[in-house]
Amino acid sequence: MDPDQELRGFEGVCRLFPLPEVVLFPHCVLPLHIFEPRYRQMTEDALAGDRLIAMVKLKDGADWNVEEDPPIESVACLGKIFDHRRLADGRYNLLLVGMKRVRLLHELPKDELFRRARAELLDDEYPDDPVDSLRDELVDQFRKLCAREGRVEPEIARLLDKPIPLGVLVDLLGHYLGLPGAVKQAFLNETHVEERVKSLIDILQVHLSNADDPRDGSDSGFPPPFSLN
């Protein structure tokens, strides 16, 4: 999907699907099981319209079991339903593909069960200088991680050699790795591609260095064990 083409009719208002520890990146796919009445309504509304839903992470410490509308992050990912199945009892299984980052400007009064917000689209920002060396370093560090883990999904291996924009590549790799929600949110917040790439390179380097250092017997929980699947 071409995000610019798909979002040509976007009018600046998005449906919100807040979840704890869930962060969607542009160009990535998120499977969703919809069962709560408010999100069934949200899905029905989306399917009858532009099929857009903004995935947004609950702020750390927010309790969605207690608060009706717990606080959410200010940057979300606007996704589009590209496949769905409605189950007999009214639940839905969805595949949502990320389109673009959005900054949530303010929430709107609730006319439905689900939340909505006015939002602005955010584009990737590239430096004036070429980014070839950054791409090479990112790919090199990621391949070292794959070699250490002893496996990598074939589609990810092929992705490393494709001439896709660097912003897309770093988002796909960030999605693929089992990073904590707070780290993923920091990546989502960052529109400067150079900074996103440098941050992911740093994480990969620290993780590889810790794994190779026999003196490091601590279990700090970060960098986390990566999930290459």
Res. 152 pLDDT band, cuts 50 70 90: confident
223-227's contacts with Cβ under 8 Å and 24+ in sequence apart are: 224/178, 224/179, 224/180, 225/178, 226/145, 226/149, 226/177, 226/178, 226/179, 227/177, 227/178
| Separation of alpha carbons 222 and 224, rounded Å | 5
Specify the higher pLDDT residue, 51 or 178.
51
Rg for the chain, CA atoms, rounded:
19
Superfamily covering domain 3-122: LON domain-like (2.30.130.40)
Query: Which among 155, 163, 170 has a CA at the least distance from the CA of 202?
Result: 170
Q: Is the pLDDT of residue 110 over 60?
A: yes
- pLDDT at residue 95 in the model: 96
What pLDDT does residue 13 have? 97
Mean pLDDT of the chain: 88
Stretch (H or E) spanning 72: none
What distance in Å separates the CA atoms of residue 200 and residue 45, rounded to the nearest whole number? 37
Q: Which of 105-114, 119-128, 146-155 has the lowest mean pLDDT?
A: 146-155
Of 75, 71, 74, 97, residue with least CA distance to 84 = 97
Q: What is the mean pLDDT of residues 207-216?
A: 64
Residue 225 has pLDDT above 70, yes or no: no
Least confident of 39-43, 152-156, 209-213, 220-224: 220-224
Sorting pLDDT into bands at 50, 70 and 90, what band is 226? very low
Segments of the chain assigned to CATH 2.30.130.40? 3-122
The residue type found at 146 is C
Residues 6+ apart with CB under 8 A from 179: 187, 203, 224, 226
What is the pLDDT, as a whole number, of residue 178?
Answer: 78
Q: What is the pLDDT of residue 65?
A: 67
Residue range(s) occupied by CATH 1.20.58.1480 in the chain:
132-212
10-32 mean pLDDT: 95
Per-residue pLDDT at 22 exceeds 80: yes
Contacts of 189 by beta carbon, 8 Å cutoff, 6+ apart: 73, 75
Tell me the β-bridge partners of 93.
33, 85
Question: What is 132-212's CATH topology?
Answer: Methane Monooxygenase Hydroxylase; Chain G, domain 1 (1.20.58)
Burial of 169 (0-12, 13-18, 19+ CB in 10 A): buried
pLDDT digits (tens, 9 = 90+) for 30-81: 999 999 999 999 999 999 999 999 999 999 877 766 667 899 999 999 999 9
